[in-house]
């Protein structure tokens, strides 16, 4: 896939590209003559400072007799999401640096509190209007209820300086790196025995009741390329295992080969063409057909449910600064920070083998000898980890070594990361790069790399970790993760926690 920028915005602003948005009627619904109850949407906005914001949305109507208007409910969910975000643009961070401090707190609060309330209120208004307009099925004498319109809603908000998720229900979000390693970033955590139960916009007080899950990630220029795959539950439930699901998400993120034969014919089963992905076009010729064919196959060979996906791609590129003719009050100077450009895909194996020590050195703010870690020749100088990344590591080491009783319960919660590293579905550098936000994940990744390398190759890393006061108990617990048998510190019964709480 070779997405191209659109809408006349400067290319430097378009590091986020929409690689596809699509909803497809599931094979079971097709056979029964039922409509697609999924919906999806892409919408582009411009923040007051000139930065672009892209909204991606997927929604899944509940289906079943009790939710007989859920096709309308899911479509309206996507539409009102666009309306609500459009109305809130003035409240969002518009600076040319990643939001921090009060700006970041305000953004988090908006995502976790104000946006959910506005979304649900606007959705309730919209479905009531639909019902009053008589297209609600003519339920004569039956008082209005939003339940028949019940739907989930998952949103991604993508800007050059931050990206965020919010929403409620059983959608999944997967992050995929250019090498194809995929990581589940967000999922609905169901109570045991909950079955098909999911949070819904039609639930009274859903916005205030903790059903929404929200999170924001500030973006530095040097953040390596990655893709985000937001999908309704029909895709994951069609896969035999989560490993299959992650592999499928990576495939969807990669998209079609350039020039591959996906004729882009009209797709009568694409839900709500004005909302779904068929008219978005940004992903390039053939993307819609690629997604339509892929989603149809997933549903037909899987659970038969409707399926939706929205894919955003953070690309390698120049620093994202507003254009000089933007409406920003001030024109920022070009970002003087060195850029960590992603090497071409062919160079990734080199990074994964010869460059591991350098990568760890990057994560821990220490450059290791080039003799053991040659960088790709074309790579620019790597920056050290920002101070914001070192201090969390130091604090985490202090926390765990200060109270070894925390070791087992803390590592228990990282089963998914351990398994992902073991299986190769999670790249250690993903965790290392993220050490500011998830220092324990970075420690696990560093331990994994240490385990994978020959003795003596990572002395620098060990020294660095010891400089943080890495105690024997923590070293031992981390090392035990990689023993051949089931890691003693990680009980397999513990639920994975890839859906960590919002910061």
Partner 1 sequence: MAFPNVRLASRPLHFIYVCDCSGSMEAQGKIESLNQAIRQSLPGMAAVARDNPEARVLVRALRFADRAAWHIPTPTPVEDLEWVDLQAGGVTAMGEALELLAAELRSPPMEQRALPPVLVLISDGQPTDDFEAGLAALMAEPWARRAVRLAIAMGHDADGEVLQRFIGSDPARGSAGGALPPGEVPGASGEMPRHGPGRSPRRPLQAANATTLARYIQWASTAVVGAASSSASRLADAAASQEAVPLPDLPPTELDPLDEPDPLKW
255 binding partner 1? (CB under 8 A): yes
| Nearest approach, Cβ of residue 306 and partner 1 (Å) | 11
313 binding partner 1? (CB under 8 A): no
What is the per-residue binding string for partner 1 in 140-159, x denoting contact by CB under 8 A? -------x--x-x-------
CA dist 384 and 380 (Å) reads 13
197 binding partner 1? (CB under 8 A): yes
CA dist 305 and 27 (Å) reads 7
| CB atoms closer than 10 angstroms to residue 203 | 16
What are the angstrom distances between the C-alpha of 76 and each of 38, 59, 201, 412? 11, 9, 11, 40
If we measure between CA atoms, which residue out of 36, 59, 31, 20 comes closest to residue 306?
36
Q: Which is nearer to partner 1, 103 or 296 (CB)?
A: 296
**Pairing mode of beta strands 38-46, 16-24:** unpaired
Is the Cβ–Cβ distance between 247 and 182 less than 8 Å? yes
210 binding partner 1? (CB under 8 A): no
301 binding partner 1? (CB under 8 A): yes
Classify residue 172 by its DSSP letter.
Answer: E
260 binding partner 1? (CB under 8 A): yes
Stretch that binds partner 1, among 246-254, 352-360, 361-369, 380-388 (CB under 8 A): 246-254
238 binding partner 1? (CB under 8 A): yes
Q: What angle do CA 18, 22, 25 make, to 5 degrees?
A: 170
24 binding partner 1? (CB under 8 A): no
Q: Which is nearer to partner 1, 253 or 443 (CB)?
A: 253
Q: Which of 110, 131, 163, 211 binds partner 1 (CB under 8 A)?
A: 211
Stretch that binds partner 1, among 84-92, 219-227, 302-310, 342-350 (CB under 8 A): 302-310
The DSSP secondary structure of 147-188, one letter per residue, reads GGG-B-EEEEEE-SSEEEEEEESS-EEEEE-TT--EEEEE--
345 binding partner 1? (CB under 8 A): no
346 binding partner 1? (CB under 8 A): no
Q: Which is nearer to partner 1, 163 or 290 (CB)?
A: 290
Token pair of 481 as six digits: 């993760």
Q: Which of 107, 173, 181, 250 binds partner 1 (CB under 8 A)?
A: 250
Q: What angle do CA 309, 182, 289 make, to 5 degrees?
A: 30
Stretch that binds partner 1, among 121-129, 251-259, 306-314, 369-377 (CB under 8 A): 251-259
CA dist 202 and 77 (Å) reads 11
| Nearest approach, Cβ of residue 1 and partner 1 (Å) | 9
CA dist 438 and 217 (Å) reads 12
| CB atoms closer than 10 angstroms to residue 380 | 12
503 binding partner 1? (CB under 8 A): no
Token pair of 334 as six digits: 């070009």
256 binding partner 1? (CB under 8 A): yes
Interface with partner 1 (CB under 8 A): 27-28, 60, 62-67, 147, 150, 152, 170, 190-200, 202-203, 209, 211, 237-241, 244-245, 247-248, 250-251, 254-257, 260, 294, 297-298, 301-305
């Amino acid at each position: 896939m070779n997405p191209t920028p659109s809408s006349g915005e400067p290319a430097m602003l378009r590091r986020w590209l929409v690689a596809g948005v699509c909803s497809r009627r599931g094979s079971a619904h097709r056979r029964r003559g039922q409509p697609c109850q999924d919906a999806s949407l892409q919408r582009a906005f411009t923040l007051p400072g000139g930065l672009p914001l892209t909204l991606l949305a997927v929604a899944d109507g509940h289906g079943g007799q009790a939710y007989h208007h859920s096709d309308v409910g899911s479509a309206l969910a996507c539409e009102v999401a666009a309306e609500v975000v459009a109305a809130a643009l003035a409240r969002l961070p518009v600076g040319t640096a990643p939001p921090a401090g009060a700006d970041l707190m305000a953004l988090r609060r908006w995502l976790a509190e104000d946006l959910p309330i506005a979304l649900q209120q606007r959705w309730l208004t919209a479905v009531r209007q639909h019902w009053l307009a008589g297209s609600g099925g003519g339920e004569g004498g039956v008082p209005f209820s939003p339940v028949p319109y019940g739907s989930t809603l998952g949103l991604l908000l993508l800007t050059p300086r931050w990206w965020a998720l919010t929403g409620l229900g059983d959608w999944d979000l997967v992050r995929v790196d250019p090498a194809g390693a995929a990581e589940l970033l967000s999922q609905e955590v169901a109570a045991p025995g909950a079955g098909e139960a999911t949070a819904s916009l039609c639930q009274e007080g859903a916005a205030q009741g903790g059903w929404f899950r929200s999170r924001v990630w500030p973006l530095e220029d040097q953040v390596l390329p990655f893709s985000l795959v937001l999908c309704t539950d029909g895709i994951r439930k069609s896969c035999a295992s989560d490993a299959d699901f992650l592999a499928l998400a990576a495939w969807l993120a990669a998209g079609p080969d350039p020039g591959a034969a996906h004729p882009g014919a009209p797709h009568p089963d694409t839900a709500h063409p004005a909302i779904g992905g068929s008219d978005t076009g940004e992903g390039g010729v053939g993307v819609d057909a690629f997604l339509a064919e892929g989603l149809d196959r997933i549903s037909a060979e899987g659970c038969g449910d409707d399926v939706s996906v929205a894919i955003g791609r953070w690309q390698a590129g120049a620093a994202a600064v507003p254009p000089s003719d933007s409406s920003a009050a001030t024109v920022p100077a070009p970002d003087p920070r060195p850029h960590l450009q992603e090497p071409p895909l062919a160079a990734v194996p080199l990074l994964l083998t010869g460059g591991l020590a350098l990568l760890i050195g990057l994560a821990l703010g220490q450059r290791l000898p080039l003799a053991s870690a040659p960088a790709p020749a074309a790579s620019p100088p790597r920056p050290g980890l920002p101070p914001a990344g070192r201090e969390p590591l130091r604090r985490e080491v202090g926390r765990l070594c200060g109270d070894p009783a925390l070791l087992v319960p803390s590592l228990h919660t990282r089963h998914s990361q351990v398994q992902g590293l073991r299986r190769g579905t999670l790249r250690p550098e993903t965790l290392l790069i993220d050490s500011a936000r998830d220092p324990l994940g970075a420690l696990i990744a560093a331990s994994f790399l240490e385990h994978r390398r020959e003795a003596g190759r990572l002395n620098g890393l060990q020294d660095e970790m010891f400089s943080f006061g890495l105690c024997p108990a923590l070293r031992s617990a981390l090392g035990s993760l990689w023993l051949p048998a089931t890691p003693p510190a990680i009980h397999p019964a513990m639920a994975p926690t890839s859906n960590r709480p919002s910061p």
